[in-house]
Amino acid sequence: MKYHLKNHVDSTVFSILLVSAAHLVHDIFTSFLAPVLPILIEKYGMTLSLAGILVVILRLPSILNPLIGYFSDNIGLKYFLVTSVSVTGICMCLIGNTGNYTVLLILLLIAGISNACFHVPAPVMLKHLTKKGLGASMSSFQIGGELSRAIGPLIVITAVEFWGIENLFYIIPLGLAMSLLLLWHFRGVSFKPPQKEGRSGITRNYISIISNNARTLFIPLSGLLITKSCTASIIAAFLPTLLVKRGKPLWFGGSALSILYVSAIAGIFFAGNLSDKIGRRKMLVFYSFITPVSMLLFLLSGDNLLFPAIILLGFVAFSYTPIVLSLIQEKNFSYPSVANGIFMAMSFLMSSVSILLFGWLSDQVGFHTAMYVFTFCSFAGFPVVYFMLDKK
């Protein structure tokens, strides 16, 4: 699908970097939950199952991703990005001001809808801004996201130390400023497809996309998501909680999470650029195997090897995303945001189910035992990716 660019964007490189910077700012806010989860658990007397629901509710709106993709293709991609940065920032900065658990859930649900409205159309914008080297552009975008998860825990832990969890709203202007910058830079530029008569509805569009690409794309990607959901999703949600349970202070858990994502930045840069050269399939097969291995090494490591294990895990566990985003956009779907929305819905939905099950299992058999169970389950994704992902 060709998008109308009513006015020439002065600098394509700057535009790509700006979208990546918007990803950075947006995801700084969504990264606030995991570091303060131990505080919220104590504040509301939550079990790990209830804590897992908080993480899941932030991801639940991912089931709307295909619908969001359809509307963003028709309304205009940039408006979703401009609005969502501010809305997510406001909601996430108010999580310390809720009077009860229910209000906290509502705030996280709104933030989750806004989060989906950002992530579905952004890769499509990048495709139409990129002249060559799509994998590198997607790496740049994903580095923004991973850098946010490295910076975000440090920002929120520092803010809690100085202002208290009730005053996180001091950070809201950061999101408002980014929204205004996006609106100004892309003024007069319409990322909107040309209108066609007789365009089919969203149901027909995403059913057609799934049915025509199930065997060669979406089923093998579901294998990859099994690996990701049982490793990266769990460690991202519960690493600070795990370390606090080991007797470490809260700042130690936040710092470990930052180190995990700094390592992820290096891994993403490496993965996206290398996939442009040697192919997407080889990289995805490799990551579907090495990620469970690195997770197992992390669980077996003692205090002396804890940070090297975290660095290795971060380097491999989060690196598949730019490869998959490039793979989907290279399929040249008629409705690229819908296609991207389908994958994002699969990803967030599987991650959410995994986190809920992990929280329940942790309450039943213990936190560390549940970690080992999920790590061994993550190996199930490798044969699916290896045997079913189209070699072409």
Nearest to 111 by CA among 88, 93, 95: 88
How remote is the C-alpha of 120 from its chain's centroid? 11
Sign of CA dihedral 157, 234, 244, 142: negative
Look up residue 95 and give its DSSP letter: G
Cβ proximity of 33 and 92 under 8 Å:
yes
State pLDDT tens for residues 163-186. 888 888 899 999 999 999 988 887
Cβ proximity of 137 and 16 under 8 Å:
yes
State pLDDT tens for residues 30-87. 889 888 888 888 888 888 788 888 888 887 777 776 677 666 655 556 777 888 999 9
SS3 category, 335: coil
Q: Which pLDDT does position 90 carry in this prediction?
A: 94
Q: Which pLDDT does position 256 carry in this prediction?
A: 86
Q: Is the pLDDT of residue 28 over 70?
A: yes
How many whole angstroms separate alpha carbon 126 and alpha carbon 109? 27
Q: Is the pLDDT of residue 9 over 50?
A: no
SS3 category, 4: strand
Q: Among 112-116, 139-143, 366-370, name the one with the lowest average pLDDT.
A: 139-143
pLDDT bracket for residue 204 (50, 70, 90): low
Q: Is the pLDDT of residue 6 over 60?
A: no
Instruction: Tell me the two tokens of residue 15.
Output: 């535009």
Beta bridge mates, 236: none
pLDDT bracket for residue 249 (50, 70, 90): confident
State pLDDT tens for residues 324-336. 877 777 776 666 6
Phi and psi, residue 94, nearest 5°:
-105, 5
Quickly list DSSP for 145-159.
HHHHHHHHHHHHHHH
Contacts of 217 (CB under 8 A, 6+ apart): 327, 328, 331, 390
Contacts of 122 (CB under 8 A, 6+ apart): 19, 22, 23, 77, 81, 141
Say what percent of the chain tops pLDDT 90.
17
Mean pLDDT computed over 219-240: 86
Q: Which pLDDT does position 19 carry in this prediction?
A: 86
Say what percent of the chain tops pLDDT 70.
82
How many whole angstroms separate alpha carbon 237 and alpha carbon 34? 5
Q: Is the pLDDT of residue 3 over 60?
A: no
Higher pLDDT, 255 or 111: 111
Q: Which pLDDT does position 196 carry in this prediction?
A: 46
Contacts of 103 (CB under 8 A, 6+ apart): none
Sign of CA dihedral 262, 337, 192, 180: negative
Cβ proximity of 185 and 4 under 8 Å:
no
Task: Sketch out the chain's domains with CATH numbers.
Answer: 12-191+202-388 (1.20.1250.20)
Q: Match 């999101």 to its residue by tokens.
A: 175
Residues belonging to the chain: 392
State pLDDT tens for residues 282-304. 888 888 899 999 999 998 887 78
How many whole angstroms separate alpha carbon 300 and alpha carbon 240? 17
Q: Which pLDDT does position 82 carry in this prediction?
A: 84
Q: Is the pLDDT of residue 103 over 50?
A: yes
The pTM (predicted TM-score) of the whole model is 0.66
Task: Tell me the pLDDT of the chain averaged across its residues.
Answer: 80
Q: Which pLDDT does position 8 carry in this prediction?
A: 44
Give helix 101-119 / helix 77-92 axis angle, nearest 10°: 150
